[in-house]
Structure 1
Amino acid sequence: MSSEPNDLVKVCVELPHHWWLKGESFWAQPLGNDRYRLENVPFCAYDLNFGDVVLATADSEELKPEIRAVVERSGHQTLRISFCDQLSREAQEPVIAALQALGGELERANGQFLAIDIPPGVSVDALRDALDEQVDAGTLEYETCEARVPGSFDAAP
């Protein structure tokens, strides 16, 4: 995922019904005409993925552009995992390495919570099978990130 090159800007989305955060910001590449390419993996928003092109406008000049719609899908998909609280980072490493070996690209939000970017051509089923094994072992929980509410990037109320 991209770091913070000078040409990236922040865009945001409000998430009033999300269980963790009430909004999320993304690094994005401005493409002109209020369109932006997302340059990091969403940790909270649904129906958004790395590389998606979105329409984002600001309600005023002082505010970040807010994502209004997806204009073009990148083909990437997102899964999010939460390791059980007692699992140390050291114990998480073999699980992370196995997911990376299957083609998943991971970003860490904190010690327990990670987002997995699944680039086009990588098997979502293989990653989910590996995650299902970890769920059965009590190591983690995970969620898919398709839309929860039509026309919204938020969790269901």
Structure 2
Amino acid sequence: METPSDELIKVHLDLPNHWWFKGESLWAKPLGNDLYEIQNIPFCAYGLNCGDVVLATADAPDLKPEVRSVVRPGGNETLRLSFSLVREAQEPVLAAIVRFGAWTERANDSFVCVNVPPSSDAAALRAYLNEQEAAGALEYETCEPRVEGSFDDAPDSALPDEEA
């Protein structure tokens, strides 16, 4: 039987349909009994947020535990931003996000994830991001589930050159 630990480990998700990466590893706190609390913002997974408690089991002893399901939502929301601004010009936008009560993790010079806790002003934050999007500074997506029972994006239904 697993015992809870203060040390973080990596849990994994396969994401074969995702537009960017085909899998993701997340930091998680072991809680025992194959339960883990996600400790960072998911950069690719849909329907999974920082603070969620998940069930994760390894397919083999030498593999990371694979996230199977969310057992208890943590109450946070994830947003993903793709900036069209140079990194220095992003700083006022990121500072505003923090003022709304959210926090960020950067993937690269243009891609930033946002954790929106329940205590933040989520409606005002979204209104602000909508303004930034309309001004051409960024595009953003919410990260609700795309496919029931999966953390992945929906598979492409047709090739780009096919007509429906």
TM-score (norm 2): 0.90
Q: Helix, strand or coil for the counterpart of 1:107?
A: strand
Q: CA RMSD in A?
A: 1.2
Query: Does the Cα contact within 8 Å between 2:6 and 2:30 map onto a contact in 1?
Result: no
Structure number with bigger Rg: 2
Gap regions ≥5 residues in structure 1: none
Report what 2:67 is aligned to. 67
SS at match of 2:44: coil
The answer to which of 33-42 and 118-127 deviates more is: 118-127
Could you state the TM-score of these two structures normalised by the residue count of structure 1? 0.94
Structure 1 runs of 4+ with >3 Å offset = none
Q: What amino acid is aligned across from residue 35 of structure 1 in structure 2? A: L
Per the TM alignment, residue 124 of structure 1 is displaced from its structure 2 partner at its CA by 1.7
The one-letter code of the counterpart of 1:142 is Y
Name the % identity.
60
Equivalent residue runs for 1:1-150 within 5 Å: 7-84=7-84, 87-150=85-148
Distance 2:124 2:66 in 1: 34
The one-letter amino acid paired with 1:111 is D
Equivalenced residue count is 151
For the residues of structure 2 that align with 1:91 and 1:122, how far apart are their CA atoms? 24
